[in-house]
């Protein structure tokens, strides 16, 4: 049984989808619920919908749920992107990358005319930074990126592969993830730019000014936050 907050957010976001849409689909447990619901809806309504996935997880789940895949090469502009988040601030700036899919997620989410976030309401924070910031790093550049990040005043940690993989986690793109604990992030855009300037950094899990809307679910219902993209 899916957790109620994630389920409510994912169900509410279904109304954003229309017949004929080309959709970007994010990664994570909330998006996994959304993919299941979307597959059902597309089948019931006989809709013609195409999806650009942001990870192997989302691609395989989409296919298992009867959804058809496409690429950004065929569809460089997407009608809608639906994605999860690890933290969401009141301006709809995000920390993403808990599932190590941040680079493709940022490419896909920023290629959409409309980007909608789905999450349980615990992801809403006053200020970003409690969740250590995920950064995708070229393995060859690991040491210099770790040193540069430490020089910015954070505690960078190379993400481990977990119980079933000795050594560092390797992303779908063949890179490493560094989780950088900065504490409260006062200037998300400034920090994003500063980290992106470090040679060897592939992408930063700060998504600033990209999301249009967030559906935040919990036991009492769904709250919708809107923001105009500047
Ligand atoms: C993956 C992500 C996910 O969207 C984020 O971690 C949220 O996941 P979940 O819906 O499982 O809480 O950024 O890289």
pLDDT digits (tens, 9 = 90+) for 93-114: 999 999 999 999 999 999 999 9
The answer to whether residues 24 and 52 touch, using CB atoms and an 8 Å cutoff, is yes
Identify the CATH number of the domain in which residue 61 sits: 3.40.50.1360
Could you tell me if 115 and 165 lie in one domain? no
* pLDDT tier for residue 148 given thresholds of 50, 70 and 90: very high
Residue 230 in this model has a pLDDT that exceeds 90: no
Could you tell me if 78 and 170 lie in one domain? no
Residue nearest to atom 1 of ligand 1 (CA): 99
Residue 62 in this model has a pLDDT that exceeds 80: yes
The answer to whether residues 34 and 82 touch, using CB atoms and an 8 Å cutoff, is yes
What's the full length of the chain, in residues? 230
Could you tell me if 21 and 101 lie in one domain? yes
Identify the CATH number of the domain in which residue 166 sits: 3.30.70.260
Could you tell me if 9 and 51 lie in one domain? yes
To test the ligand 1 pocket, which listed residue (2, 4, 9, 28) has its Cβ within 8 A of the most ligand atoms? 28
Could you tell me if 121 and 139 lie in one domain? no
Could you tell me if 146 and 218 lie in one domain? no
- Nearest Cα neighbor of 99 from 129, 128, 134 is 134
Rg (the chain; Cα; Å): 17
- What are the CA-CA distances from residue 212 to residues 72, 164, 209, 227 (Å)? 20, 38, 8, 5
To test the ligand 1 pocket, which listed residue (29, 33, 120, 159) has its Cβ within 8 A of the most ligand atoms? 29
User: 175-192: per-residue pLDDT in tens?
Assistant: 999 999 999 999 999 999
Could you tell me if 41 and 107 lie in one domain? yes
Q: Write down the pLDDT at residue 99.
A: 98
Active-site annotation holder among 105, 136, 192, 203: 105
Q: Is the CB of 30 under 6 A from ligand 1?
A: yes
Could you tell me if 119 and 146 lie in one domain? no
Q: How far does residue 214's CA lie from ligand 1's centre (Å)?
A: 14
Q: Is the CB of 134 under 6 A from ligand 1?
A: no
Q: Which domain holds residue 199?
A: 133-204
Mode of pairing for the β-strands spanning 213-218 and 221-226: antiparallel
Could you tell me if 45 and 78 lie in one domain? yes
Structural domains counted in the chain: 2
Virtual CA dihedral for 91, 92, 96, 99, nearest 10 degrees?
A: 150
* pLDDT tier for residue 1 given thresholds of 50, 70 and 90: confident
CB under 8 Å to 159, separation ≥6 — which residues? 100, 134, 168, 169, 176, 177, 178, 179
Could you tell me if 80 and 163 lie in one domain? no
Q: Is 105 a catalytic residue?
A: yes
Could you tell me if 212 and 183 lie in one domain? no
Virtual CA dihedral for 22, 80, 230, 188, nearest 10 degrees?
A: -110
């Amino acid at each position: 049984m899916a957790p109620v907050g994630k389920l409510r957010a994912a169900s509410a976001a279904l109304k954003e989808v229309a017949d004929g849409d080309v959709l970007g689909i994010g990664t994570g447990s909330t998006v996994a619920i959304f993919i299941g619901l979307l597959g059902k809806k597309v089948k019931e309504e006989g809709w013609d919908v195409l999806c650009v996935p942001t990870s192997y997880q989302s691609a395989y789940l989409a296919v298992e749920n009867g959804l058809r895949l496409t690429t950004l090469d065929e569809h460089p502009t997407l009608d809608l992107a639906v994605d999860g988040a690890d933290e969401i601030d009141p301006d709809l700036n995000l920390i993403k990358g808990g599932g190590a899919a941040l680079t493709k997620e940022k490419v896909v989410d920023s290629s959409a005319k409309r980007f909608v976030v789905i999450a349980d309401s615990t992801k809403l924070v006053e200020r970003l930074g409690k969740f250590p910031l995920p950064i995708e790093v070229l393995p060859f550049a690991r040491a210099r990126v770790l040193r540069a990040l430490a020089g910015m005043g954070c505690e960078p940690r190379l993400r481990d592969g977990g119980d079933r993989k000795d050594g560092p986690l390797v992303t779908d793109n063949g890179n490493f993830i560094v989780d950088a604990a900065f504490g409260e992030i006062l200037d998300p855009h400034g920090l994003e730019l500063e980290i992106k300037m470090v040679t060897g950094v592939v992408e930063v899990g700060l998504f600033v000014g990209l999301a249009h809307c967030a559906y935040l679910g919990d036991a009492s219902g769904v709250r919708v936050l809107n923001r105009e993209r500047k």
